[in-house]
A and B are shown apart, each in its own frame.
Chain A
């Protein structure tokens, strides 16, 4: 529906060249357009064209967000879910509860927040590193390149559930492949370690998340590399630049716009990722890997306290907005300086 509404007028736009006067309106038609100045009509047209898409966008994205914000100001528990309007106003109390870091709810939220920040930074950095390394190494022609490229993209193409549930089998303590290799074959540990509960669960979730996200970085960087003109490498080679120097002075600067978007998107997706920890750990994540999306889910759905969960979601939204704004500000300024 959206496609037909926005793409079909696009054909008309191509034939309407800018210098052409507006077609004479035939009797009784074009009542609204007739008294609008031509310039305004031309200016308003693009906005009108995207209006249906915009309305749908509002419907799909903004309204649920607004409802979520509304929910965060009421005491929405099981007593009121059938009739939200009857739920008593909570004022700021849901927020107080969430940011009162001396209280148990706020403290566990803060803990979860720090775990998530650490997890996200590690995952993004490693995903970028592996993606970059993969893309650069695949740049030159060699036999089997197509096969390797396809292979690297498999984790990204695999349905999340299938991929992550396989990981959870691999990481089982008694019957998992990981312990079989590490303990039974290589004898690295005396006692079989746990991977899905306790200390190691953080490492597990980082590895699984890395496995899931690095192909995306690889894909985007590979596409970015295709756009770097060959001549630059040839010219720099004539100037005597080695492989490292080419990487530093040609590849990385040319990839800067790609990287800017890639890192931001990876950060947001990883920070918000719900599926990976949910499938790996189930409804209750171990404390060491208590990622914020699961934490909020628990605070609302599992304990039936939707108001508090919404307040936490709004705080998360504000934090991510802030990070995005600061990030774009810094990276854009640096680019305009350059």
Chain B
């Protein structure tokens, strides 16, 4: 036993600082936030405070503004994931057989990923200007120049929840489709050439080749993509902050609402929103982390 500890002991020792750091700064602080969410700390004042149980949560879910932000988040997430997957997969499909100038296309599709969401938000807030007609600006102006006036629309400033949040999803799709393309492209290129050959020899049509041979091989990548996009969308903050400003009921999501609540120093409520957000992310991510770790343990 002594000998075994001597072999693995140093390894555990290397990881100890990380475990302690993350133990405090991730798990400890989450517990702290949760604790705050159970109190009546509705001001910035310090000192002792009453515990009110889950009252803050009950209030949140009974409040129109919070429910609105959750609905916005749901719509945004669907629009963002569907849009990004469609573009990402389409681009990967167009590129995967190899076209002249492939590396140029790849680089251009991927470059928005290197730009901060604040920078792209500054640009998109300008592109998504709601003015129309004579005074049209941004994309609306471009539509009128191209004689596509029917496309002019008020973007996120008017209309249904769907059109509003789709306008917010558009810049996010622009920014991240290239990432999904890169994931799928790596997936396509990782499939052994023999598989394609075999399918062709068997007389499979191009459609059947993709449908029954190639796509099934990509399902693990599609799952990763779904998780990545899902948790990014749930946390989306910078882009909304830059495009609409933080104080917009129409586009508010929990991550933004938490910030607004904090500005009014309502710590307990802000903590409650943060914990709800964490719970939503955890529902998505914990099964995935467990699955990944178990799968790798099997290998």
Do A and B actually bind? no
Q: Which residues of A contact B (CB under 8 A)?
A: none
Q: Which residues of B contact A (CB under 8 A)?
A: none
